Structure 1
Amino acid sequence: MRQDTDVLVVGAGPTGLALAVDLARRGVRALVVERAGGLFPGSRGKGLQPRTLEVLDDLGLHDAVRAAGAPYPVGMVWQDGVRQGEHRMFDEAEPDEGAPYGAPWLVPQWRTQEVLFARLVELGGGVAFGRELTSLTQDPDGVTATFASGAPVRARYAVAADGGRSTVRRSLGIGMTGETVDPHPVLVADVRVTGLDRDHWHLFPPADGGGYLAVCPLPGTDLFQVVAQFPEAAEVDLSPAGIREAVAARSHLAPAQVTEVRWASDFRPRAAMADRFRAGRVFLAGDAAHVHSPAGGQGLNTSVQDAYNLGWKLGAVLRDGAPASLLDSYEEERLPVAAGMLGLSTRIHRGEARRGEATRQLGLGYRDSSLAVETRTGLPEDALRAGDRAPDGSRDGVRLFDAFRGPQWTLLAVGAGAGAALPELPGVRTVRFPSYGAYGDGVFLVRPDGYVGWAGGTATGAAAYAARFGL
């Protein structure tokens, strides 16, 4: 028999799981289907940027994510078996009240997915594993999916979160435009290694025409992630013997010091983006929409934030009575962000930029979006505007991120004068906050994804804006 749901999510990677968690907390029925028999087993996307940590905090995962990871270790450069000195992998950030997470957090991808999956189950959701999509068709009222085994699924909307080789994207005929960032193939593997401390990210620069090697300890485990570069025409041997040989050829370690290979894969660094992020009732998110070089640590993070942007909009349309046209803003907002992050990742890979402020993704926003309405004039150049990320802050026992947490909008009045008269908006949390320089005095409607939607000197116009979303 056919199974009916509100949203079909194809793919149980970080993107699909984050979207499913967000939908579940909004009371939206979602079915996640995954071709594989279980969650992805490797460490591949191992870095969570500060903005993504804020997203996961809002999804109720702060404690679990902190417990699953650790700060990035300092790099240790080796040559001929001798330590040459430390190397800082990231530019350090100055402490900022508005940004509680100042640095990326090291979590193996498989652990991030386990944390998301556990949260989804806690909210009453789950994943249908072993469901390989064979076709996806749509009509004006919804989409119908069929699978290699099991019943077909009928959904009002579908989301392709099925990776860079997305079956859904191909079935829709959406092109993927991109370039090879580096023709040299790269091995990535999770291994046990003896002879290296777990306090450093061990770096072995290329020597004698060979490729580099990086060996990073994975927190909460006794494993290391190995990344090794190969000559352009080389075939990468993913067998345990081949991985041991690759490590020994690039370091002072003997092959036998790689005592176990838990998981291994290879890739050629590539940057590519789908020509569009939506076709009718089907949306592309994560690697199905954009593929990054891993050098900048942006791929998984941009993907989770795709889900965070799309989740509240699907919830607004399916549960809150917002017009379906709201969903047009997903591509409008996320495609330019993905393009910018692709360019940044490529520049970092080629040594043209460092991992610093831009990679933390706290400065990303949607000022040019049709959803951003700024009614104030004469603002200073550095003023917070509609479309910007809403900063954190604490005053008089009120913490803003605690007030924003949850699936609702927040009406924030900053300064005594701005909050003199505020409208009653159903389903909107109202917060009054003392004058705070990160905002400036005014009234701000903060979207469920933590960006300022509407801003004014007073609340005049806020109710009319909120009505656009069924509030």
Structure 2
Amino acid sequence: MIERTTVAIVGAGPAGLLLAGDLATAGVDVTVLERRGDESNLTRAFGVHARTLEHLDARGLADELVAGGAPIQALRLFDHLQIDLSVLPSRFPYLLITPQYNVERALERRARATGARIVRGAAVTGLRQDAGGVDLTVGGSTVRADYAVGADGVHSFVREALGLPFPGRSVLSSIMLADVRLTDPPADVLAVNAVGDGFAFIAPFGDGWYRIFAWDRTKQLPDTAPVTLDDIRAVTRRALGTDHGLTEARWLSRFHSDERQAPHYRAGRVFLAGDAAHVHSPAGGQGMNTGLQDTANLGWKLAATVLDRAPAGLLDTYERERHPVGRLVLRSSGTIIRMAMIRSRAGRFTRNTIGGAALHLPPVARKVAGTISGIGIDYPDAPRAADVALLGGGRLYEALRAGAYVLVAPESARPALAGREDRVTLAPPADPATPWTLVRPDAHVAWRGRPDALPAALDRAVRNAMPARRS
């Protein structure tokens, strides 16, 4: 066990691994502390949304995941209601179906390749911070870090050690999980439906096994109660009209789903991200995605700070930008699950009629698809940066892979970057009519405007805000 690190990340899930890779790419010494001794076979997330794919694209990982997954352009909710994702203004106008462990493996490989230290079997049992850093107790050792990040899930030790509350409530109890074989798999990539007194969801692992989520309103049992194949068959037949030839299971369990959010994502030198900061129903598949987007926002800001190149207050913008997003996801996923749980036939008819009509209105369809996918989520002073083609080939998101700001502007802008070349990549656009745009490392717009305003924009955003790229 090491005794000193610049940033300690507690938790080697998707959010923690993305953050580790970002920090290591920037040249920051980073250590991930994971209590599990080996990889868990528990995968609850199966969908990678468009905005997350854009963040992975900016790290050179998206195409690999897309090649091994199954894209779907319409997200079915219940009955005949579905969200059309093909309208998304993105290179990825779909939901990619792939198990969470595929995302974790890609992120861990990147993190290790860039120099991150990942220690498994390292349960954190104590946390204390002072004005100069954070002490983490791991076994009989103490790890000293300048900053720490709790990405350790819904039962976060870090959050509890900080004394931060996690207000909210349970919205669904006794959700059954099963990894099964099917002799008659669904024709669609996903099979999902709700019928008032239950719902079922089937997603493929891609290796012949399938994950089923099933909920039975009439049979609410503790999380510790056993699950049988007959329990799964009964709900699946009721919701989907068939059990798709369910023959065997390698794993069965129960869990409950909460809606909770910490009031703050930062306490001194310690930050929260992912499920440690917010948790919500699985409806819409936004959980893992929101956590990855949290750390995409935090990473470059933390790197700039520890390398002493950040303006005052930069780290405070993490909570200011991401806390409202967490609140939005709680609302949107909560709306979906409450609509799915409508019990009466009249209520479901009204839901389907009104919801179906609304989703056929292009502005509504774009708004809903943008919210669920993350593509439509902007920060108040930093909208999402759309991918644009660059002169001579390539795209903006490829230029972002260096981990620095990117200035989308013609070659004539180069003199303005004098002294900042190690922190800003100049990327001339293929379309000369493209507005001059300064893009943050997390693919949000820092500035867009007239050429004569660029020097002031660079002073505000870049002068001390971004570490040099690693050679």
Q: Verify same fold: TM over 0.5.
A: yes
Equivalent residue, structure 1, for 2:427 = 431
Structure 2 residue 370 is matched with structure 1 residue 392: no
- Preserved CA contact (<8 Å) 2:57 2:397: no
Structure 2 residue 331 is matched with structure 1 residue 343: yes
* CA distance in 1 between partners of 2:216 and 2:249 (Å): 21
Equivalent residue, structure 2, for 1:93 = 86
Structure 2 residue 156 is matched with structure 1 residue 170: no
- Preserved CA contact (<8 Å) 1:189 1:226: yes
Cα distance, 1:316 vs. partner?
0.8
The CA deviation string for residues 168-194 of structure 1, in whole angstroms up to 9 with x for no partner, is 101111011223334x42112222222
* CA distance in 2 between partners of 1:246 and 1:13 (Å): 30
* CA distance in 2 between partners of 1:413 and 1:63 (Å): 26
Task: Classify 1:393/1:76 alpha carbon distance in 2 versus 1 (closer, same or farther; 3 Å).
Answer: closer
State the one-letter code of the partner of 1:275. Answer: P
Equivalent residue, structure 1, for 2:63 = 63
Equivalent residue, structure 2, for 1:306 = 294
Task: Classify 1:349/1:204 alpha carbon distance in 2 versus 1 (closer, same or farther; 3 Å).
Answer: closer
Secondary structure at the counterpart of residue 387 of structure 2 = coil
Equivalent residue, structure 2, for 1:202 = 191
Cα distance, 1:300 vs. partner?
0.8
* CA distance in 1 between partners of 2:67 and 2:294 (Å): 24
Structure 2 residue 279 is matched with structure 1 residue 291: yes
* CA distance in 1 between partners of 2:223 and 2:425 (Å): 56
Equivalent residue, structure 1, for 2:171 = 181
Secondary structure at the counterpart of residue 294 of structure 1 = coil
Secondary structure at the counterpart of residue 168 of structure 1 = helix
Q: 1:109 aligns with which of 96, 100, 103?
A: 100
Structure 2 residue 233 is matched with structure 1 residue 248: yes
- Preserved CA contact (<8 Å) 1:216 1:224: yes
* CA distance in 2 between partners of 1:73 and 1:462 (Å): 38
* CA distance in 1 between partners of 2:66 and 2:301 (Å): 28
Equivalent residue, structure 2, for 1:213 = 200
State the one-letter code of the partner of 2:449. Answer: G
The 5-angstrom pairing of residues 350-429 of structure 1 reads: 350-351=338-339, 356-367=369-380, 372=381, 387-398=382-393, 399-413=395-409, 419=413, 422-424=416-418, 425-427=420-422, 428-429=424-425
Cα distance, 1:89 vs. partner?
4.4
Cα distance, 1:448 vs. partner?
0.7
Equivalent residue, structure 1, for 2:136 = 145
Secondary structure at the counterpart of residue 428 of structure 2 = strand
The 5-angstrom pairing of residues 224-263 of structure 1 reads: 224-231=210-217, 234-235=220-221, 242-250=227-235, 251=237, 257-261=246-250, 263=251
* CA distance in 2 between partners of 1:36 and 1:203 (Å): 32
Equivalent residue, structure 1, for 2:145 = 155
* CA distance in 2 between partners of 1:359 and 1:253 (Å): 28
Secondary structure at the counterpart of residue 163 of structure 1 = coil
Cα distance, 1:136 vs. partner?
0.3
The alignment covers a number of residue pairs equal to 432
The CA deviation string for residues 335-375 of structure 1, in whole angstroms up to 9 with x for no partner, is 111111211111122228776221111121222xxxx4xxx
Secondary structure at the counterpart of residue 71 of structure 1 = strand
- Preserved CA contact (<8 Å) 1:47 1:107: yes
- Preserved CA contact (<8 Å) 2:18 2:295: yes
State the one-letter code of the partner of 2:119. Answer: A
* CA distance in 2 between partners of 1:283 and 1:265 (Å): 31
Cα distance, 1:18 vs. partner?
1.0
* CA distance in 2 between partners of 1:422 and 1:457 (Å): 13
Task: Classify 1:88/1:42 alpha carbon distance in 2 versus 1 (closer, same or farther; 3 Å).
Answer: farther
* CA distance in 2 between partners of 1:55 and 1:188 (Å): 29
- Preserved CA contact (<8 Å) 1:214 1:226: yes
- Preserved CA contact (<8 Å) 1:22 1:311: yes
Q: Percent identity?
A: 36
**Structure 1 unmatched runs, 5+:** 79-85, 373-386
* CA distance in 2 between partners of 1:23 and 1:420 (Å): 27
Cα distance, 1:167 vs. partner?
0.8
Cα distance, 1:322 vs. partner?
1.8
Q: 1:271 aligns with which of 259, 269, 277?
A: 259
* CA distance in 1 between partners of 2:327 and 2:100 (Å): 23
Secondary structure at the counterpart of residue 6 of structure 1 = strand
State the one-letter code of the partner of 2:259. Answer: A
- Preserved CA contact (<8 Å) 2:88 2:370: no
Task: Classify 1:243/1:397 alpha carbon distance in 2 versus 1 (closer, same or farther; 3 Å).
Answer: farther
Task: Classify 1:397/1:36 alpha carbon distance in 2 versus 1 (closer, same or farther; 3 Å).
Answer: same
Cα distance, 1:422 vs. partner?
3.2
- Preserved CA contact (<8 Å) 1:10 1:16: yes
**Structure 2 unmatched runs, 5+:** 340-350, 360-367
- Preserved CA contact (<8 Å) 2:60 2:398: no
Secondary structure at the counterpart of residue 59 of structure 1 = coil
Q: 2:449 aligns with which of 449, 453, 456?
A: 456
State the one-letter code of the partner of 2:183. Answer: T
Instruction: Give me the TM-score of the superposition, normalised by structure 2.
Output: 0.83
* CA distance in 2 between partners of 1:264 and 1:312 (Å): 40
The CA deviation string for residues 256-313 of structure 1, in whole angstroms up to 9 with x for no partner, is 933232x444333321100100111000000000001110211111100111111101
State the one-letter code of the partner of 2:149. Answer: V
- Preserved CA contact (<8 Å) 1:91 1:357: no
* CA distance in 2 between partners of 1:360 and 1:470 (Å): 28
* CA distance in 2 between partners of 1:334 and 1:407 (Å): 20
State the one-letter code of the partner of 1:412. Answer: V
* CA distance in 2 between partners of 1:19 and 1:264 (Å): 32
The CA deviation string for residues 182-238 of structure 1, in whole angstroms up to 9 with x for no partner, is 4x42112222222334644334644xx8522222223x3111110110236621677
Cα distance, 1:318 vs. partner?
1.7
The 5-angstrom pairing of residues 37-76 of structure 1 reads: 37-72=37-72
* CA distance in 2 between partners of 1:308 and 1:299 (Å): 15
- Preserved CA contact (<8 Å) 2:14 2:288: yes
* CA distance in 2 between partners of 1:232 and 1:162 (Å): 33
* CA distance in 2 between partners of 1:317 and 1:340 (Å): 28
